[in-house]
Each structure stands twice: as structure tokens, then as C-alpha cells.
Amino acid sequence: MAEAPSTLITARREQMFPVLEPVELERLRRFGTPHAYAPGEALMRIGECGHGLALIASGEVEVTQHDGLGHTRQVVVLSPGSFLGELAQLTGRPSMVDASARGAVEAVLIPPDRLRAVLVAEADLGERIMRALILRRVGLIETPGSAPIIIGRAGSSDVLRLQGFLARNGQPERTLDPETDAEAGALVERFHIDPDSLPIVLCPSGSLLRNPREHELAKCLGMVSPIRQDRDYDVAIVGAGPAGLAAAVYAGSEGLSVLALDARAFGGQAGASARIENYLGFPTGITGMALMGRAHAQALKFGVDTAIPDEAMALSAEGNGYALKLADGEVARARAVIVASGARYRRLPVTDIEAFEGSSVHYWASPLEARLCADQHVALVGGGNSAGQACVYLADHTRKVSLIIRGTSLEASMSRYLVDRISAQPNVELVCQTEVVALEGEDGALSAISWRHVRTGEVTRQPLNHLFLFIGADPNTDWLRTSGAHVDAKGFVLTGPETGRDCHGLETSLPGVFAIGDVRSGSVKRVSAAVGEGAQVVAALHAFLGERGHAPATATD
């Protein structure tokens, strides 16, 4: 069964599938090794790891996708001068496509480590190749032919959880509701799945997962690999938000060996922003996911190893460095550590709120939530910039937004451009000096909320199905409790003179452990400030490693 081609492929085919000149192919040959393929032989198979870039010297290669339901579609036929690969080939992650020779084919195979060398050493060619790899990944997301298939009821909190996890990690997915899709219903019957056990996930490898947790799904898709136990990294970065990714990019570009971890997805809270309009260099604004996706791709380009999702549980000194104990029992070792673990979304102190999270109570506003709330009346709590960005975004997709704040106006807590934008939205109702006090609903589906005026005590009940919360965050520092790192009264990590010792302004009470971004006490909670600290900390990191006599680790350490 063939699917319609991606609209991105149609519009940007020349950029996605450039044809290199013979002289350009010759320049790239030194990075790879020649290989000949017989007619019909596979160059790449869905789910296989380790493939790098394949330059097509002669012959043709057909690229296809297939899913767990037996559907197949042709993506493209590559001719001489083309190259085979997408972002997964930067790190040796599993392939998302099949590729086979149409007749005899001669190719030059460039492994992942040498591909990263191409991007650095051949600037012009590297830029064209990198753009193509990114656009191809976006195309795969847009038309997810070989993506994992989520089968479950539309609007289910677990379905939304899995969809959100994959979307935030730049992974394609396809969701089918067995109540409306005949193939999905037949699959549920074939595997004798109890409807109460949904969702299930069909991985491209053929594995079937029953309502998996995020890390289980990530392992099935090959998103995470075992941490190398024989390697001490120059630095391990805990948290892949704006601060952590900035530190990873600058440290990697300067030759340090870097491991970046995050418990859920790259981008942090910034990655969930519907639109960032005051970030330098983007006068028309940019979505948080697009900005953080570019930063993540940069980190991969400079050889940063990533473990996402992989959660740090504890930090301890070990030898001349530190050991990070991870949630799955593995241990990552590094000469220095950068704490960029950000903050956790703050919950409303309302009874049974947990029952509605994921399906009706949301902590970010992405296209997934926008589709879920289309043409409905929603409520949003919060008066900061994140709340303002979400309000503007949701106003474009919903019938009405009730923006609930405890203050008397937005001016004291929100940037002027957002206040003006909200004021210009005819379907935004500003509800001041008010707090949400009760939620109503059943089976995880919200049916109404009640809010109370803090001065008069008057309670208003409003029927609606979705509530968005942007009420600040608490520092994500529980994993540091036994490390000895000093924190302030609110749990944010102390750095510089506040630690009581003579050290760099971003260094903690532990030598060689630095804190940046939202998790740091006294930091400015802005994306640009976090990125700045991520760049700044690398100078301090170099100084520390130099003082300890550590030469940068090589790729074979």
C-alpha cells in the first residue's frame, strides 16, 4: 500500500536529495571505504544500527519504508552522486528506512565518526549534507511510514504520553484507534489484547510493547545505547535543555569528550514552547522544538554522545572524577560534571489533579495539545512569559482561552510584547485575582473546573475539558541529595562565592561540578541566559581540567 509523498519532500526535494558533482564525491572518498553491492542487496535495513553515510558512485538505490501492518511506500530512488542517510547516521542509531540496490551498485561508506569529521573538515559540503540529513528526518516525521505504531483510544492519557514523548524527541509515530480503524481493531483481536491494557506499540523491529514506559519504548526503537563502562568522559552534562545543549555544543566543538543525558527529551521546558519571539536572531520567532532540535543536531555534529532518555539518580566522587548512577543501574564516569537538570513543572494544590494529568491537564502547549483542544473553551493558569506564549498559541486553535492569574494585571510578570499580543486576541478572557480550587470529571476526562476570586471569595464553575498550567517550577535536584552539593532554601544549586569557597562563578561546592541554567540559584530564567551560561561554563571547564592535568579524552579513550 503506497502512501502520498511528504509535502516537505515535494517542496524541498533538491535540498533533501542533492546530487554531488564528481569532484565533490572525490573530496569525500578519503573519509570512507568503497563497497560493491549486487542487484537486490540491502545497503540498509530498518532497525539495523551502525550505518553511516553511503555515497552512491554508480547504479541506483531504492529507499522504502514499511510498517508493522504490512504497508510499504517508496521514499526515493537515489542515483549516482546522491547519498543515503538521515540524522540517525550521525550516531549510528537504527535506520528508519530500507535501502536496496537496483542492479549493481558501487558506493563509498562513511561511518558515523568519519561523517562527523566530514561535517567539520568540509564546511561547504558539510553544510549541504547536514541540511539534507535534518530535512530527511523531518520528512520521516511528516510521513511516518516505518514509525512505531501506537494503538489505543484517542485522547487516552497513555496514548498522549507516548505521542508527546516521541514528538519531543524528534521521532516519527503513527497512532490508530481500534474503535475507528479496522486494521487496528483486527490487530487487537489477533493478539488477544484486553481493551483495558491498551495502548500497545508495534516497533519497526516487529516487537510488540504493552503500554510501555518511555525508557522501554526508547530501547525498543534503539534511541538509547548502553553507556560505555570503559570510558571516562571529560564532562558529563545532566540535562539537555538550552543550557545543557549549549554546553554540549561548545565543549564538543572544542575537542572535549562529552556525554549529555536527559530523563525525557532534548530541549527541556524550552522545547515545549509554542513560539519564542524574543530570542536573538529570530525576528519572526521560532518554536521551542525547532530551536532545540537545531541545537541537538549541532551537538551530534560535534561528536557529543547522548543518552536520552536516561535519568541520573545520584552523583558521587570516584577516583579523580565523578560517577553518575543512572535509573537503569548503569554508571557513567566523567572527570567533570555540569548540572543543567532544570526544573520540574509545579502542580496546583487541587485534590485528584494527578487523575487528569496527560489527558485533560497539560503542562505545555504543543501541536499535539492544540489538535486535542481544537475549537474548544480551555483554561490556562499562569502569568509569566511561558504562559503568555502558550496563551497566544492556543488562542489560534481554540474557541476561547480563559487566562487565570492571581495578580491584578499581566504587566508585572510578562514581557510587553506578549501583553500586547494577548490584549489583541478577541477570544482571550483575562481572569484576574483568581485561583483554581476544584476539578470535576471521571476516568481521567475533565468536565469542569471551579475558580475563586481571592479577594471576594466568589466561586465560578466553568464547564470545560482541558486545563493548562504554567505556574512556575521547582528545581530538579533530588538526585543531588547525597552528593554534598550545596543548595539554597528552595533547592536551587549554589555556585561561586555562595558556596563558601574560592571557585569559578558557575562552580558548585564540589570541585569540577558546575551548575548552569534554571537549576542554578540566582540564575535568570530565560532561554538566552541559559544558553549564555552553557557557553560560559566551557571556559571554566577547560581551566579546571587544565589545573588537574587532564588532557582532553580522545574518541578511543
Q: What pLDDT was estimated at residue 522?
A: 94
Superfamily of domain 7-142: Jelly Rolls (2.60.120.10)
Q: Which residue has the higher pLDDT, 8 or 134?
A: 134
Q: What pLDDT was estimated at residue 47?
A: 83
And the C-alpha cell for 226? 548502553
Write down the mean pLDDT value for the chain.
91
Produce one character per residue of 354-369: b if its CB has 16 or more CB atoms within 10 Å, e if not. ebbbbbbbbbbbbeeb
Between the CA atoms of 343, 345, 351 and 356, what dihedral angle is there, to the nearest 10 degrees?
Answer: -140
And the C-alpha cell for 250? 561548545
Q: How confident is the model at residue 553 (pLDDT cuts 50, 70, 90)?
A: low
Q: Which residue has the higher pLDDT, 5 or 22?
A: 22
CA 331, 168, 223, 249 dihedral sign is negative
Q: What is the DSSP letter of 430?
A: E
pLDDT in tens, 432-463: 999 999 999 998 899 999 999 999 999 999 99
Q: What is the CATH number of domain 353-471?
A: 3.50.50.60
Q: Where in the chain is the domain with CATH 2.60.120.10?
A: 7-142
Query: In the CATH hierarchy, which fold is given to the domain comprising 232-344+474-547?
Result: FAD/NAD(P)-binding domain (3.50.50)
Between the CA atoms of 278, 279, 284 and 290, what dihedral angle is there, to the nearest 10 degrees?
Answer: -130
Residues 6 or more apart from 278 whose CB is under 8 A from it? 415, 417, 528
Written as one letter, the residue type at 108 is V
And the C-alpha cell for 483? 552528593
Residue 537, pLDDT above cutoff 70: yes
Residues 6 or more apart from 515 whose CB is under 8 A from it? 338, 339, 340, 485, 493, 494, 495, 506, 508, 521
Q: What pLDDT was estimated at residue 466?
A: 97
Q: Where in the chain is the domain with CATH 3.40.30.10?
A: 149-220
Q: Where in the chain is the domain with CATH 3.50.50.60?
A: 232-344+474-547, 353-471
Q: Return d(Cα 313, Cα 330) in angstroms, integer.
A: 10
Q: How confident is the model at residue 186 (pLDDT cuts 50, 70, 90)?
A: confident
Angle (CA) 341 345 351, round 5°: 145
And the C-alpha cell for 363? 503542562
Q: What is the CATH number of domain 149-220?
A: 3.40.30.10
Q: What are phi and psi of 387, to 5 degrees?
A: -65, -40
